[in-house]
Chains A and B, each alone.
Chain A
């Protein structure tokens, strides 16, 4: 069992498609929250092969996309500083600020480095005691444990030259914000599997109950995504609205308690602004007072760096599922991966980028029941 190809088997996919076909009797709109799932859907053409009545709306599951413009500007400001080594995950490098991105800062001479893990940034800090090393800590709950451990390690090793620029966002408040919006068209959710590996599934119970919507914890391989959709549809057709775990090999109801313990030590809930959506109360994490010394925003005093989102970009409507990327008038013309207007076109998980990258040719009907 290698946990990859087995969950990509075309024959089993065919069965899942057939089950979904057989179950659907009327239109339903499902939202996948996680950018990784958006990527899997578009890259495999899953939306092409589903029955027409099943609509997939791509939710705000891309932490890169939802990092507020202001935070990007502060990152650019910090990264431009002399003696700063700015470390980041690869995806953040091309997210546009008002006029430039981290790549441009690098071209102008800034020491901007891509790392795979936040622990690599801690190692850089240890190796460069006379430089300020900043790690751009973005992500959902899946990434927060890694960022938390980086801060703990830096603290344990007395690395006063290390700091974290925090921009963590939480999934349940985002789902609630969408559900409580009067313009929401979402009938059911595919919850982010790896977020739930960390946090468990218990946070979604009150939401499912209060709004009577199915919330299905879903994985990332094609069969996982199809099964998540299948279970959501079955619930909707039967009038149910419950939390269901379609990714049991990687998710337990209680989640990862070891990670949750460290998270509780290092982070506390705060209000957070989501690029393109606006402020969602209690939807983010910031460093606790015990670790506030490691907060890059305080260390570098960038509080006077502010930014307003450009009014033309409609990433917010895409993120809320109100329009599809190709329904935006800028899509593919003014706004392309080469000249992105908003982060949804830059991040490989952004819905706009996924649409642009994998733009489709109509699939012949006979293929659909593959």
Chain B
């Protein structure tokens, strides 16, 4: 469930009192509703599900996560090199 994919907000407009936007999904654009993400603006990335942005994507957090993946296993390598002789 929850087929939600990242979309970048290109422009924001009002549609009869509801805050809407055009989001770009890597070359495909679609109108999405921003009613649930009032602090999201142009340039932000969001997860869009059934035509609604449900959360802002935090870039710093994403970078941190990827960094953590890249560092996996490296600590063990270092420790392994310094393992004391039994």
Cβ of A153: which chain B residues have Cβ within 8 Å of it? 18
Nearest chain B residue, comparing its CB with the CB of A247: B65
Cβ of B6: which chain A residues have Cβ within 8 Å of it? 2-4
Pick the residue among A194, A227, A248, A259 that contacts B58 (CB under 8 A): A248
B85 → chain A, closest Cβ, in Å?
22
> Are B36 and A142 neighbours in the complex by a CB distance under 8 Å?
no
Pick the residue among A18, A195, A249, A256 that contacts B57 (CB under 8 A): A249
Pick the residue among A6, A117, A195 that contacts B52 (CB under 8 A): A117
> Are A146 and B1 neighbours in the complex by a CB distance under 8 Å?
no
B42 adjacent to chain A (CB < 8 Å)? no
Nearest chain B residue, comparing its CB with the CB of A35: B1
Mask: chain B, 44-86; 1 = CB below 8 Å from A; 0 = not: 0101011110110111011111100110110010000000000
Interfacial residues, chain B to chain A (CB-CB below 8 A): 1-6, 17-18, 26, 30, 33, 35-38, 45, 47, 49-52, 54-55, 57-59, 61-66, 69-70, 72-73, 76
Cβ of B66: which chain A residues have Cβ within 8 Å of it? 6-7, 12
Cβ of B45: which chain A residues have Cβ within 8 Å of it? 1, 3
Pick the residue among A4, A34, A119, A227 that contacts B33 (CB under 8 A): A119
> Are B69 and A194 neighbours in the complex by a CB distance under 8 Å?
no
19 pairs of residues in contact across A and B, judged by CB atoms under 8 Å = A1-B62, A6-B62, A15-B69, A116-B30, A116-B50, A116-B51, A117-B52, A142-B49, A146-B33, A146-B50, A146-B51, A197-B54, A220-B2, A250-B57, A251-B55, A252-B55, A256-B36, A256-B54, A258-B37
Cβ of B38: which chain A residues have Cβ within 8 Å of it? 258
A321 adjacent to chain B (CB < 8 Å)? no
Interfacial residues, chain A to chain B (CB-CB below 8 A): 1-4, 6-7, 9, 12, 15-16, 18-19, 22, 34-36, 61-64, 89, 116-120, 139-140, 142-143, 145-146, 149, 153, 156, 192-195, 197-198, 220, 223, 227, 248-252, 256, 258-259, 262, 349
